Amino acid sequence: MAIIEEKLPSTIDEILEAYDLESEMSDWGMIRAGHINRTYHITFRNGEKRLLQKINTIVFKKPLELMDNVVRVTDYLREKIAEEGGDPERETLRVFLTRDGKNCYCDSKGGYWRFYNFVENAFSYDSIENDDLFYRAGAAFGNFQSQLADFPGETLFETIPDFHHTYKRFLNLKAAAERNAAGRLNEVAEELRFAYDREEDTKIVVDLIEKGEIPVRVTHNDTKLNNIMFDSETKKPVCVVDLDTVMPGSALYDFGDAIRFGASTAAEDEKDLSKVSMDLHLYEKYVQGFLSTAGKSLTEKEIEFLPFSAKLLTFECGMRFLTDYLDGDVYFGTAYPEHNLDRCHTQFKLVADMEQKFEEMKRITADAYKNI
């Protein structure tokens, strides 16, 4: 992570005073990795390092519920890691409490701040450099699922309601088309037809959850490669980070979104759709990695729907881009007027490609499951 010197928050003295620190601050820097929260690297005179982070309350409107989720999950992981003979200080995040026992501090300007441990001698990747890296990423997120398999996911707060409720995402798209707020409806008839033809797909996983056919689990909900810290020497996964979107959900959501993001052959906003496809080899590597650690903790029904989840989460993302395009680009940042539409096109192209490759995806998944 690149550390860049910038300006400390004006309330830094107040924030530091809120914590029972053993030493004074000696150095600091700003970490630019991540786009949501403001993060500082703090070094103290005794050599200790911590991450100081300001929670983005525009995105996360209930910071106390968010922090309750993070603390409960990381406390559970620390116990599990210790039981397995691992290093809790390195293999999961630790939230430091304030002097009065709170998991974050609200400063005099209304900003919410938290202190995390700093994972030494570790780094993150921003892109899939080779297939072995994608295997290791699958193993890391699979291990996250396995370690939390017995945690009662339904007891966590839903900090972003209906985040992966795909049917409600579909209904949001229909409502945006009816509003036609940006006057773009006539431009997207083909895209809407593609989405409407797959309405029934959007109900499948949420129905499975509601009927109790698949369990509610702890889900990360942002399974991008750069949310895994890797050891600087061994290059093995060390710690899953960025737990702000940890919520109750389905393991299928985390798996499907990882494939959407990592197994695509093109950028998310690629204009040349001939370059866009789902790489079956990368799919196979991720499935193998994921099931090598999570396979024995998942139900057979969850295993069965892993290939479908890749298609579903890709479709959901495409619907979100199309919804935002119809609404006038009010949610996702854009660099040009058709940016969200281009993003929608890549996701829908991936969906169509997965549909063509679906039987092969099922075979690959079944073979990987047999070999765990």
Please choose, from the candidates 183, 359, 366, 345, the residue with its C-alpha nearest in 3D space to the C-alpha of residue 287.
Answer: 366
Q: Are 63 and 112 in contact (CB under 8 A)?
A: yes
- Rg (Cα) of the chain, in Å, rounded? 21
Q: Are 310 and 354 in contact (CB under 8 A)?
A: yes
Q: What is the reported pLDDT for 345?
A: 98
- Would you kindly state where each structural domain of the chain is located, as residue ranges? 3-120, 131-370
Q: What is the reported pLDDT for 15?
A: 96
Q: What is the reported pLDDT for 33?
A: 62
- H or E element in which residue 50 lies: strand 49-54
Q: Are 141 and 254 in contact (CB under 8 A)?
A: yes
Tokens of 311: 């298609």
Please choose, from the candidates 165, 157, 259, the residue with its C-alpha nearest in 3D space to the C-alpha of residue 218.
Answer: 157
Tokens of 281: 């080899």
User: 232 exposed, middle or buried (CB, 10 Å; 0-12, 13-18, 19+)?
Assistant: exposed
Q: Are 42 and 52 in contact (CB under 8 A)?
A: yes
Q: What is the reported pLDDT for 26?
A: 92
pLDDT tens digits, 147-187? 999 999 999 999 999 999 999 999 999 999 999 999 999 99
CATH of 131-370, one of 3.40.47.10, 3.40.50.300, 3.40.50.10140, 3.90.1200.10: 3.90.1200.10
CA distances from 80 to 18, 83, 139, 150, 293 (A): 29, 5, 17, 10, 15
Tokens of 170: 């579909």
Task: Record the pTM.
Answer: 0.93
Tokens of 171: 């209904």
Looking only at the bridges linking them, the beta strands covering 217-219 and 112-117 are: unpaired
Name the packing angle between helices 251-262 and 280-294 (round to 10°): 150
- The yes/no answer on whether domain 3-120 falls in CATH 3.30.200.20 is yes
Q: Which residues are CB-neighbours of 166 under 8 A, at least 6 positions away?
A: 201, 202, 203, 205, 206, 312, 315, 316
Instruction: List phi, psi (to 5°) of 310.
Output: -65, -45
Q: What is the reported pLDDT for 34?
A: 55
What residue has token string 């039987």? Answer: 359
Which residues in the chain land under pLDDT 50? 1-5
Q: What is the reported pLDDT for 4?
A: 43
